[in-house]
Amino acid sequence: MVELNEVFETVNMVAEENLDVRTITMGISLLDCIDPDLGTLCDKIYKKITESAKDLVKVGDELGSEYGVPVINKRISVTPIAIVGSAACKCPKDYVKIAETLDCAAKDVGVNFIGGYSALVQKGMTTGDRYLIESIPEALATTERVCSSISLGSTKIGINMDAVRLMGDIIKATAEATKENDSLGCAKLVVFCNPPDDNPFMAGAFHGVTEADRIINVGVSGPGVVKHELSKVRGQDFEVLCETIKKTAFKVTRVGQLFAKEASKRLGVPFGIVDLSLAPTPAVGDSIADIIHEMGMEYAGAPGTTAALAILNDQVKKGGVMASSYVGGLSGAFIPVTEDKAMAEAAEIGALSLEKLEAMTCVCSVGLDMIAIPGSTPATTIAGIIADEMAIGMVNQKTTAVRLIPVIGKDVGDFAQFGGLLGEARIMPVNKFGCADFVNRGGRIPAPIHSFKN
């Protein structure tokens, strides 16, 4: 039972330290909408989403008002659309019609984003998977709230390099299709290794086929809270440092647990998980990089940064699992560049490079996230970066992701602006040496030896 006094204890966290419930996400299964007729399928999808989520925004706003903790986003995730649309879609444009249906439903119920325009191709691609992937540039250019994710690898299966190579082209095509808005479409497109079925955060959220018909997942945040608490123990040893992060994560997660339970009860939808990820925003003081600075680094990216991030990620998980029996999703620390003002500043002055970010992804919760790169970056280079990140996830048995934004018409040092929670940043340099002969080989990188546990 979550007590109200535990919420009242967080009033100062909200007022001064940017504590929020980042998202209440309703997962909705669309498996019962499958139909060989595209028009009928779209009608079923629209009806299922709008009926299921009609009160989601209202309940989220009510909870935020009642408890004094803002709910920043209300979102929906759905069954991977490559599965749902495979019987009806005969070409990529058919999938675009489904994307437009999702966007219309999301607008009508008032949510910020809808995730699940997705395909799971870590071992191979069906015809429907390929059609959906090929439709992504147009789908993201013609919709406002649809988010897309593609699973390219897993520890158990390996990495589908054909799909990795294809996604290099798709990311470039999406950038071109949305170039009038600093290639914004790429901010709503992410590729994964080992994606969880219950992630409430965009752009990677989808409703896994093993999930219930509907589910409520909550993502909490609070980098500013952690940074504030660490400022009280400045200079003390690692035991004190770790205990401080762990206790703070416990309090933050308890707030998420309360919101999840209350949203579940009011909506009549089962509670799924609390994702206790520290997710930064462009707001001053709401930054993972600021936490790293408080831990002793001059800037994020300085020597010691990876060790500091490892501590942060581990202690957040340890505190969170004591606060809720149903911790899931990604849970840990996100390190997006454009969405984190202090991270963007570290990249701008050269303290943080793409290579250092890659090293940090070995110990954080996601991967190379929201990084603006030159629009001239070759598709093969993007594929090579994706392959590196998928390999980190596969070998280390963790979730990793890539959300790169090749900003068409801009180069290193130019400024890219995406707005809202997506933030802004300078274009970061990319290694200029090629990898085309590697990524063009085709086939699949096999799973590591330690994946064979049966």
Report whether pLDDT(7) > 60. Answer: no
User: Does domain 218-451 match CATH 3.20.20.70?
Assistant: no
Tell me how far apart the alpha carbons of residues 205 and 201 are, in angstroms, rounded to a whole number.
Answer: 6
- Which 8-state DSSP code applies to residue 145? S
Task: Give the pLDDT confidence of 379-399 residue by residue, as tens digits.
Answer: 999 999 999 999 999 999 999
pLDDT number for residue 185: 94
Q: Do 218-451 and 26-193 have the same topology in CATH?
A: yes
> Which residues lie below 8 Å from residue 351, measured CB to CB, with a gap of 6+?
298, 299, 300, 301, 302
Is-contact 92 80, C-beta < 8 A? no
Pick the residue with more confidence: 401 or 364? 401
Report whether pLDDT(161) > 90. Answer: yes
Task: Give the pLDDT confidence of 208-263 residue by residue, as tens digits.
Answer: 999 999 999 988 877 888 888 899 999 999 999 999 999 888 888 888 888 888 89
Considering only the C-alpha atoms of the chain, give the largest distance between any 2 of them, rounded to a whole number of Å.
65
Q: How many helices (H) and strands (E) does the chain have?
A: 16, 13
> The domain 26-193 is classified under which CATH number: 3.20.70.20, 3.40.1180.10, 3.40.50.1370, 3.30.70.20?
3.20.70.20
Q: pTM of the entire structure? A: 0.91
Mean predicted lDDT score pLDDT of the chain = 90
Q: Where are the domains of the chain?
A: 26-193, 218-451
Task: Give the pLDDT confidence of 139-159 residue by residue, as tens digits.
Answer: 999 999 999 999 999 999 999
pLDDT number for residue 15: 47
